[in-house]
Amino acid sequence: MNRRYLPLLLAAALFIPSLAAAQQLHPPHHNRILVVGEGEASVAPDMAIVSLAVMREAETARQALDQNNEAISAVIAALKEAGIEGRDLQTSGLQINPRYVYPQDNSGEAPRIQGYQVSNTLTVRVRDIEKLGAIIDESVTLGVNQGGSISFTNDDLSATVTEARKRAVKDAMERAKTLAEAAGVGLGPVLEISEQSMTPPPMPLSAKMVRMEAASADAVPLEAGENVYRVQVSVTFGIQPQ
């Protein structure tokens, strides 16, 4: 035998056993079962996010802004007095818009400005949900007359999401066992697992509070309910012939 071919033959001899071992560790794609498992876990919310807005109208932009500043400052002061920390208060919108009067006839006259409208929107995180109704009521009393939405969420989701993941994996295992039994094969080891998605609860609650009036009750009645978090995992199993 020509000696120059000897290294190639040795390399081929070493490659064939390693290839066989790799095929055992990672069987061909058609020898696998791929399933998607779903799991969910629910938890009572411990935090609310509410949008509060003050709108004021006046003949000039300066007057409307001054009136708005006075009202929103009183609201912020009351929120802090109620225990809301500065980190949980955020100005999320400020608008200054002219109000036009349009001619009623076909005279061709251009619209004229009749006054100005100023809106200042504040996003508030309320970490004590039991105070939420009273906070909204007091805010309306102090000048809030517009709003956006209320959403109930959780400050720390780690334990809830972990439970949802465990249930998703368990669901995937049960699905795979059912498929294997139906196909008359044995369920092999887990070859691959990945999280596909984590779905937060369907919030916020749509609640357009346009032109809110001061409530007559001591606090606005609110129900927080439960938040449901859903997780999907993709799991690949090997197949063992029976």
Task: State the CATH architecture for 47-155+201-225.
Answer: 2-Layer Sandwich (3.30)
DSSP letter at 190 equals E
Q: Give residue 201's pLDDT.
A: 62
- Which region among 21-25, 65-69, 76-80 has the lowest average model confidence (pLDDT)? 21-25
Between CA 21 and CA 25 the distance in angstroms is 6
Output the pTM of the full model.
Answer: 0.67
Tokens at 189, concatenated: 């080891």
Look at phi and psi of residue 155 and say left if phi exceeds 0, alpha if psi is from -120 to 50, else beta: alpha
Give 106's contacts (C-beta < 8 A, 6+ positions apart). none
Compute the average pLDDT of residues 20-36.
Answer: 66
Domain ranges in the chain are 47-155+201-225
- DSSP H/E element including 63: helix 61-81
Percent of all residues in the chain with a pLDDT value above 90, rounded to a whole number = 56
pLDDT score of 226 more than 60: yes
Tokens at 131, concatenated: 């105070």
